[in-house]
Amino acid sequence: MPRIPFFLFLLLSGLWLVVMSPVAANDALSIVYSGNLDGELEPCGCSAEGNLGGIKRRATLLQQLRARTPALVVISAGGLLSTDGPGDRLKGEYILKGMAQLNYDAIGVQWRDLAYGVDFAAQAGLPWVLSNSAQQSFARDRLIIRGEQRLRFFSWLDPAASPLKAMQGQHDLVDASPKTLQVALGRAKRAGELTVVASTLTAAAFAQQVGLENIDLYIEKAAYEVYGEPHREGRTLVVQPGSRGMRLGRLDLQIMGGKIVHWQHTVLPMPDSLPDAPELQAWYDEYNARVKADYLKRVEARKKQQAGQSPFVGEEVCKTCHEKQHQVWFGSQHAIAYEDLEDVGKAFDPACIRCHTVGFDQPGGFFDMNITGHLLGVQCENCHGAGRAHVESAGTKPVPNKDWPKEKVCAQCHVQKHSPGFNLETYWPKIAH
């Protein structure tokens, strides 16, 4: 039953394209969309597969796309920030500054965008949209006009997902009732506008909570890194962005009578070959200088804090009794993990150091190249635990992580995001000692 209308639809829209396209320019609209940058100012470069995206490359790609299609609409479902590590707030500040240079038409607000407070996001000068906002901090919708086409962007923040619920003064940030949004969507449709809604709910969950009525394009919960295939739910076109800013999605739409009658979907990666935008260099240099200054400040604080003996001893000490194991380790990539950070100019970024040194952010762990130079790289104690007690007992006391399965040991650092190709079967033999 559903096959026939779909086939007919394809045929008709195809014909329509052939017949109409020379004169139908007014009915075409191209949209570039994304969602869930998730705090990725730039790729970490930990692996070739992971090395896509970044704001400097995105700026270049958008310039190229706009040069070819000046009427391009550029929107994001939001989710720009993250709170995974000590440097994420500073990084967030620069992500917002960088995004502000890319001239987005509209950006949805997600809970993670409010992690550092409403003002942190609201004052960044970005075209945020929060349709069920219960305050004045964000616009409820944005009208984007391209020639004859009028597109209205909305975003819905799932009240149930609020991490701020327990926090004082934040609980009244969103309106849980879908009424206002439903009314606004109806009004936009009656005015002949194309309606776009973004949220972190799947299309099915959104249909339950708010309903897809009067929505032409729904941007649903992002997938991990890779974009989903667009599909129809009723008459709504549903797209699913990929996370971490590694790709951009592009929709080339044909619109008739305020409805999407045909779409073409392309996913645009941002590989190495795409040069960084030179106008963002100053922004990037300033960010790295701030990261370094922040780091040095932390070092000072830690030095003062440092009291008593460190539980970490460093690989040289282990070597005295475990020479054979040491020799294998010394020849492994783990031994040069800090040098590799220096090579990419990230030896001062706490977000990177934590997996490339011993015990960073733990009492007595790595905090500085000069004073804790014996704790550089991934060492014995990253996997076996702090070894002082073991050493002082001449091996009688076992190492702290003696009972950890290998999986648990590796998973401290070999997570999907930083080691997408990790497989214990193939990785362990390379470091077995």
Positions in the binding site for ligand HEC (CB under 6 A): 44-47, 313, 315, 317-318, 320-322, 325-326, 329, 333-334, 336-337, 340-341, 344, 346, 349, 351-352, 354-356, 378-384, 387, 390-391, 394-395, 398-399, 402, 406, 409-410, 412-415, 418-419, 421-422, 427-428, 430-431, 433
* Min dist. Cβ of residue 357 to ligand HEC (A): 8
* Min dist. Cβ of residue 278 to ligand HEC (A): 22
Contact 418, 50 (CB under 8 A): yes
> What is the C-alpha separation between 69 and 306, in angstroms, rounded?
58
Residues 6 or more apart in contact with residue 203 via CB below 8 angstroms = 212, 218, 220, 233, 236, 238
Contact 317, 394 (CB under 8 A): no
User: Measuring CA to CA, which residue among 61, 19, 21 is closest to residue 266?
Assistant: 61
Contact 98, 125 (CB under 8 A): no
* Min dist. Cβ of residue 42 to ligand HEC (A): 8
Q: Which two tokens stand for residue 416?
A: 């999907």
CB hemisphere CA count around 386 (13 angstroms): 13
Q: Which is nearer to ligand HEC, 11 or 321 (CB)?
A: 321
* Min dist. Cβ of residue 276 to ligand HEC (A): 15
Q: Which is nearer to ligand HEC, 235 or 433 (CB)?
A: 433
Contact 17, 261 (CB under 8 A): no
Contact 32, 73 (CB under 8 A): yes
> What is the C-alpha separation between 411 and 409, in angstroms, rounded?
6
CB hemisphere CA count around 249 (13 angstroms): 30
Q: Which is nearer to ligand HEC, 173 or 355 (CB)?
A: 355
Q: Which two tokens stand for residue 6?
A: 């779909």
> What is the C-alpha separation between 281 and 394, in angstroms, rounded?
53
Q: Which is nearer to ligand HEC, 273 or 423 (CB)?
A: 423
